Chain A
Amino acid sequence: MSHAAMSSELFNKTIVELAELLAAKTITSVELTQAVIDRTQSVEERVKAFNSFDAAAALAQAAASDARRAAGQSLGALDGIPIGIKDVIAVTGQPLTASSKMLANFVSPYDATVTQKLKKAGAIIWGRLNLDEFAMGSSTENSAFHTTRNPYNLDCVPGGSSGGSAAALAAGEAIATLGSDTGGSIRQPAALCNVVGLKPTYGLVSRFGLIAFASSLDQIGPFNRTVEDAAITLQAIAGYDENDSTSVKVEIPDYRAALKTKKGPWRIGISKEYFGEGLDPEVAAAVEKAVSFYEKMGCVIKNVSLPHTEYGVGVYYIIATAECSSNLSRYDGIRYGHRSADAKDIVDLYYKSRAEGFGPEVKRRIILGTYVLSSGYYDAYYLRAQKVRTLIRQDFLNAYNEVDAIITPTTPTPAFKRGAKADPLAMYLCDVYTIGVNLAGLPGISVPCGFSSSGLPIGMQLIGQPFKEADLLAIANAYDSAHDWAKRTPNL
């Protein structure tokens, strides 16, 4: 494969590189933003990462950023950097669709907390990125609008649900993006698209303004080209929010500085439960090479046991669907959203608006979630799942008595072909390595660690301790800064 695209194009640079160019006034934010817009217009027809974008609004923000910088009032590393936003995160005056027919015409009258924080950091809020409808899926094939393609192979999926966020970044259609992760929806597409994807500890980043899928699992996080960029982006969005009762008051360290101050060596755990049946040998080999890297740099590699891993998918599909069945009740065609044109009464309005507005995967999960919560089943399903969730969490916390982080493959296989997983259960099993992190509320990061023989990206996952993102990023950066997988941009 040719790597001609190891380009010096602005749209393929990192935040760190661009921040230097902007600070030196070598480029302006308007030039950078225009380069991203041009790139988007040239490749988007093939990648289909966006649901919509507003070039004029982006350029206006870029002009404001340039004016700030000219006045010596730059807001920092993100000032003037175009950041794409998954279309489940509210931006005032912009569409907020969750890639659902239900919200096809919805315009948000308010900003998510992360949107506000990015605006305060001077970032250019850029575009609405495609996803599996209401973040339910692992391929973006469940989008009501179109399927996003994997930039490394347009016949393959980019992963999901934040497929648009991963693909747009890989394709140079944004400098960084935000996604959301309920069972792997940031890490899995990051792995499949050769970018860094971070799911922070539950409660580190405010969920206010994130369309809820499963409230006790959802977390917003960044997609970046490097771990250092991830540290910069996380810095901007992390922190307690009075509008999110589940956000946690913790000290936010300087994540970027921690990459330099925290040098290891670390104790890194490997769990056999993550290297078993179903794991593609090329993926296994790539992750094992990363393990050797850590070993060579002096880290202690230890086997840890996570015995309840096999129950993760079951627990996840009970808790996530139960919560989503309730969270999605508000989409009823009354105050906003799709309203059926031929409802004969109020009950019929609910039935038809929801039947017409939701796609099959969303319906399937609402039905399952409604079932597990219904009278007589709560104890057998939901309550039991919450208890097993406790055991899964304890497995991790026990392991952290012995190690600083755990390394696993992010996904069992590289990107699969569109339409390859028609069976919902097969699709659900794609999340087998990422789900435990959400159930335990832990931070997890996917870092590019190689390519398959067919040229598809492979990612490894590092799982950290609660609220110790600084350590997790430092561990990930040790590998990432010593490799250049992310510089292999796709040929588009």
Chain B
Amino acid sequence: MSVPEDLNIDRIANLARLALTDEEKVKFSAQLADVLTNIEKLKQVNVDGVEPTAHAFPIYNVWADDVAKPGLPVEDALRNAPEKRDNMIVVPKVVE
């Protein structure tokens, strides 16, 4: 199966922040092409006037009252953090 021309794997991998090896790029491109071909048949379906389903059972106005509850103690909040200092998460220097 050939790779669709518009499947720019580098652009997609960049959006997804996923480093792919050259091998993965070739393999995934071909596999995705297969899947996309299978998906192509959706284009045969007449969907004129059909509403999209975002929720299986759409209900409205599901909310909570604005009452503050206790959160996580900071030590629990940071327990799984790979690197922390001064009760904050350390990341490589972000240059805006």
Measured CB to CB, the residues of A under 8 A from B are 105-107, 109, 201-203, 216, 242, 245-246, 248, 308, 310-311, 313-315, 317-318, 325, 329, 332-339, 343-352, 354-355, 358, 360, 363-364, 366-368, 370-371, 374, 381, 383-391, 393, 423-425, 428, 440-441, 466
- From A106, A350, A363, contact of B80 by CB (8 A): A106
CB<8 Å pairs between A and B, sample of 16: A248-B57, A310-B41, A335-B89, A336-B80, A345-B93, A346-B94, A351-B18, A363-B28, A370-B15, A384-B43, A386-B54, A388-B45, A390-B52, A391-B45, A466-B56, A466-B57
State in angstroms the CA–CA spacing of A381 and B16 once bound together. 18
| Docked-complex contact A245 and B62, CB < 8 angstroms | yes
**Chain B residue with Cβ nearest A351:** B19
Residues on B with beta carbons closer than 8 Å to the beta carbon of A354: 16-19
| Docked-complex contact A109 and B76, CB < 8 angstroms | yes
State in angstroms the CA–CA spacing of A112 and B15 once bound together. 31
| Docked-complex contact A346 and B56, CB < 8 angstroms | no
Q: Report the count of interface residues on B (CB-CB < 8 A).
A: 51
Per-residue interface assignment for chain B, residues 74 to 92, with 1 indicating a CB less than 8 Å from any chain A CB and 0 otherwise: 0011011111000001011
- From B17, B50, B51, B79, contact of A109 by CB (8 A): B79
**Chain B residue with Cβ nearest A326:** B16
Top-6 shortest CB links A-B: A441-B56, A386-B52, A336-B80, A350-B17, A339-B82, A351-B19
State in angstroms the CA–CA spacing of A373 and B13 once bound together. 13
Minimum CB–CB distance from B18 to chain A (whole Å) comes to 5
Minimum CB–CB distance from A443 to chain B (whole Å) comes to 11
Residues on A with beta carbons closer than 8 Å to the beta carbon of B7: 371
State in angstroms the CA–CA spacing of A319 and B11 once bound together. 20
State in angstroms the CA–CA spacing of A397 and B46 once bound together. 19
Measured CB to CB, the residues of B under 8 A from A are 7, 9, 11-13, 15-20, 24, 28, 31-32, 34-36, 38-43, 45, 47, 50-57, 59, 62-64, 72, 76-77, 79-83, 89, 91-94
Minimum CB–CB distance from B1 to chain A (whole Å) comes to 10
| Docked-complex contact A203 and B56, CB < 8 angstroms | yes
Residues on B with beta carbons closer than 8 Å to the beta carbon of A343: 92
**Chain B residue with Cβ nearest A108:** B80
State in angstroms the CA–CA spacing of A338 and B83 once bound together. 11
**Chain B residue with Cβ nearest A355:** B19
| Docked-complex contact A425 and B92, CB < 8 angstroms | no
State in angstroms the CA–CA spacing of A466 and B81 once bound together. 41
Once A109-B76, A245-B62 are accepted as A-B contacts, the answer to whether A335 and B81 lie under 8 Å apart by CB is yes
| Docked-complex contact A216 and B18, CB < 8 angstroms | no
| Docked-complex contact A346 and B80, CB < 8 angstroms | no
State in angstroms the CA–CA spacing of A201 and B47 once bound together. 25
Residues on A with beta carbons closer than 8 Å to the beta carbon of B12: 367, 370-371, 374
- From A216, A242, A351, A368, contact of B56 by CB (8 A): A216
State in angstroms the CA–CA spacing of A203 and B13 once bound together. 33
State in angstroms the CA–CA spacing of A53 and B72 once bound together. 25
| Docked-complex contact B19 and A352, CB < 8 angstroms | yes
Minimum CB–CB distance from A207 to chain B (whole Å) comes to 12
| Docked-complex contact B16 and A387, CB < 8 angstroms | no
Minimum CB–CB distance from A301 to chain B (whole Å) comes to 27
State in angstroms the CA–CA spacing of A466 and B24 once bound together. 42
**Chain A residue with Cβ nearest B31:** A424
Residues on A with beta carbons closer than 8 Å to the beta carbon of B53: 386-387, 389-390, 393
| Docked-complex contact B54 and A216, CB < 8 angstroms | yes
Residues on A with beta carbons closer than 8 Å to the beta carbon of B94: 346
Residues on B with beta carbons closer than 8 Å to the beta carbon of A329: 17
Minimum CB–CB distance from A316 to chain B (whole Å) comes to 10
State in angstroms the CA–CA spacing of A419 and B35 once bound together. 20
